[in-house]
């Protein structure tokens, strides 16, 4: 586990899966909306099934679209049933700080054997509690943390320490990537996974000096008649 793609764009997912670089995909309702999702739950199912097939056996995170307790449980069960490699994303609490989510996460992981990725978290303490509740993945939105003036790297280090010390199974996902620099910094700080928009991967690979070097090799090969 290292890099996931934070997108529902089929062409991009195919492209980077073929390179062997990515080991999972994450989505959320905003990404799906921005990338032109349509067709209600039926449309979502078709799209997510296609993505799940492309990335299998790696995980695909799909977020529930309600914050009502019974609705979250029903949707989680339904969506998790679409494909074996689907992980359900649930926010750590509701839009007004409602606490139901934590018991829903615990119930889905322990009673229904559904893998949960707890999202929208801004601190090590939120992630730690989600891990205690039994989450398989805890998503810290590092870019948003930095935007608020806090240091995401320090949060990752604290969280790594806590999960290791208490032997909690949750994998740390760093999301909300803002700069290419974030990817390696967060992995070095202790994240298991960084999830990125596709253009970040191209940015990590392509370097102007590498271009110049390759151009030199090709030009000299041509001059030598090779
Ligand atoms: O799902 C979490 C992540 O994708 C959010 O990213 O860019 O909206 O902060 P962003």
CB distance 140 to 113 below 8 Å: no
For the CA of 120, the closest atom of ligand 1 is 2
Kindly state whether residue 159 falls inside one of the protein's structural domains.
yes
- Total domains in the fold of the chain: 1
Kindly state whether residue 124 falls inside one of the protein's structural domains.
yes
Q: Which CATH number fits the domain that encloses residue 48?
A: 3.20.20.70
Q: What is the pLDDT of residue 86?
A: 98
Kindly state whether residue 214 falls inside one of the protein's structural domains.
no
Kindly state whether residue 31 falls inside one of the protein's structural domains.
yes
Q: Catalytic: 77?
A: no
Domain residues for the domain of 15 are 3-199
Q: What is the pLDDT of residue 38?
A: 87
Kindly state whether residue 69 falls inside one of the protein's structural domains.
yes
CB of residue 118 inside a 6 A radius of ligand 1: no
Kindly state whether residue 217 falls inside one of the protein's structural domains.
no
| Residue 72 half-sphere exposure toward CB, CA atoms < 13 A | 25
Kindly state whether residue 106 falls inside one of the protein's structural domains.
yes
Question: Which one, of 98, 96, 66, 95, lies nearest residue 79 by Cα?
Answer: 66
* Best probe residue, ligand 1, of 176, 177, 186, 193 (max atoms within 8 Å of C-beta): 176
Question: Is the link from the previous residue into 57 a cis peptide, with omega within 30 of 0?
Answer: yes
Candidates 84, 89, 157, 211; catalytic one: 89
Backbone φ and ψ for 223, nearest 5 degrees, come out as -60, -40
* Positions of the chain with pLDDT under 70: none
Kindly state whether residue 187 falls inside one of the protein's structural domains.
yes
pTM above 0.85, yes or no: yes
Q: What is the pLDDT of residue 20?
A: 96
């Amino acid at each position: 586990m290292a890099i996931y793609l934070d997108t529902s764009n089929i062409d991009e997912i195919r492209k980077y899966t073929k390179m062997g670089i990515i080991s999972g995909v994450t989505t959320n309702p905003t990404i799906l909306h921005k990338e032109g999702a349509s067709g209600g739950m039926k449309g979502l199912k078709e799209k997510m099934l296609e993505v799940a097939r492309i990335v299998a056996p790696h995980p695909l995170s799909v977020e529930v679209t309600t914050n009502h307790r019974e609705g979250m449980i029903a949707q989680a069960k339904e969506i998790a049933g679409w494909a074996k490699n689907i992980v359900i994303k649930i926010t750590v609490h509701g839009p007004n700080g409602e606490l139901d989510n934590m018991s829903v996460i615990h119930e889905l992981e322990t009673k229904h054997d559904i893998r949960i990725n707890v999202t929208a978290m801004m601190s090590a303490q939120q992630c730690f509690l989600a891990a205690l509740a039994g989450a398989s993945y805890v998503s810290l939105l590092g870019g948003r943390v930095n935007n608020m003036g806090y240091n995401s790297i320090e949060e990752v280090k604290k969280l790594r320490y806590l999960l290791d010390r208490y032997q909690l199974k949750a994998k740390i996902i760093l999301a909300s990537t803002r700069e290419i620099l974030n990817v390696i910094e967060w992995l070095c700080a202790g994240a298991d996974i960084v999830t990125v928009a596709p253009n970040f991967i191209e940015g990590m690979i392509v370097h102007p000096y590498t271009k110049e070097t390759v151009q030199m090799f090709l030009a000299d090969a041509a001059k030598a008649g090779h």
